[in-house]
Amino acid sequence: MSLQIRTATNADCEAVVRVISAVFDEYSFTWDEGDYHADLYDLEGYYAAQGDSFFVAEQDGVVVGTVGLARYPLLEGVTGQLEEREGFIRVLGTDCSLERLYVDPNARRSGIGFQLVRHVVDLAKSEARTGMELWSDKKFVDAHRLYGKFGAKVVGDRICHDPDQSPEWGLIIELAAHT
């Protein structure tokens, strides 16, 4: 089976929604097309137009995974500390974040998640980013182990702004030595 990771376009929205909603169904999470998931219905407008990236993993022509990379100015402060910024708890010392990592439940345990994380971590490093913020539902234990393979450290937690008010772990991957 061949796996290709490529930049998503709006032509991929239906497949992206299929993958992510399958995970939401698996965990009995609430789907919110009009707010929390609105980005998935206009990938180009929410990501590329904002200077961010959204990728899909295709296996034999079928989308089986997703991941995004958001870029922003450095959140200055003590690296790894949490602080409220613009109404959200954020990880200081970061200038990018991993977003929307999901793998189709039927395609797991084949390295797709690892390759997607590696793709965005390598991209962030190539752009000389210094720290990557991740927020992950506390139920996603396998994802937390995966992030650990990239040096992610749990730095705290928060309640997500999703419809279920889900508890999340906050993690950081340090991408470059701090001066």
Domains (ranges, CATH) in the chain?
3-174 (3.40.630.30)
For the chain, the first-to-last Cα distance in angstroms comes to 43
Residue 140 neighbours by CB under 8 Å, 6+ apart: none
pLDDT in tens, 156-176: 999 998 999 999 999 999 998
Find the angle CA(111)-CA(116)-CA(120) to the nearest 5 degrees.
145
Q: What is the pLDDT of residue 176?
A: 80
Stretches where the chain sits below pLDDT 50 are 178-179
> Rounded to an integer, what distance in angstroms lies between the CA atom of residue 4 and that of residue 97?
22
Q: What is the pLDDT of residue 2?
A: 87
